[in-house]
Amino acid sequence: MSQNVICCRSLVHTPKGDNMLNEARSILISRYEEIRGILFEMYPYVSPTKLGVTDREECSVFSVKDNAIVLNFPELNLRDVIEDEHQNLQTLLAQSQGPPAWLRELIHETIHAFEHRVICQSTTTEGKELFTQVQAARCGPIDAQHAGPFYSAVHHAASTLGIEPLQFIKNCL
């Protein structure tokens, strides 16, 4: 099985202007730097994963080979990115209806980056426990690309973002 491209999300796309894409891309890069800074704070030696943003009608991916995340966003998501520009991260994460789709997708792919750059193929004790809980509660993605190593990275992300892990999975993944 190819571990190269992790393909997780697919959203409905409609045509849009380049200006919106460019504006959203620059905001998303700042958001990504902030989230990456939190998740990778203890791992300064890990070379940063690049972020690309397009409006292609494809699912967003993390590529192991390229060490790159590519977010492929429809117009609705790009608009929301721009609208949410001045909201702080913790406010967006704490929204009662859950964080916006663009943020969930960005976090999801950043977790895959952490999984492959730091956790590698291993599973931490916390990740194993969390994966068992997720299987029992059926509350998160479960397949070959979302197993022990992924949930080890999820546990780390939840802890560093200050959110209880199962709550984090229900709201953010």
The binding site for Zn ion (CB under 5 A) comprises 8
Query: Which residue, judged by CB position, is nearest to Zn ion in the bound state?
Result: 8
* Pick 8 or 92: Cβ nearer Zn ion: 8
- Smallest gap from residue 92 Cβ to Zn ion (A): 20
- Smallest gap from residue 143 Cβ to Zn ion (A): 9
HEC profile of the chain: CCCCEEEEECCCCCCCCHHHHHHHHHHHHHHHHHHHHHHCCCCCCCCCCEEEEECCCCCEEEECCCCEEEEECCHHHHHHHHHCCCCCHHHHHCCCCCCCHHHHHHHHHHHHHHHHHHHCCCCCHHHHHHHHHHHHHCCCCCECCECHHHHHHHHHHHHHHCCCHHHHHHHHC
* Pick 59 or 82: Cβ nearer Zn ion: 59
- Smallest gap from residue 64 Cβ to Zn ion (A): 13
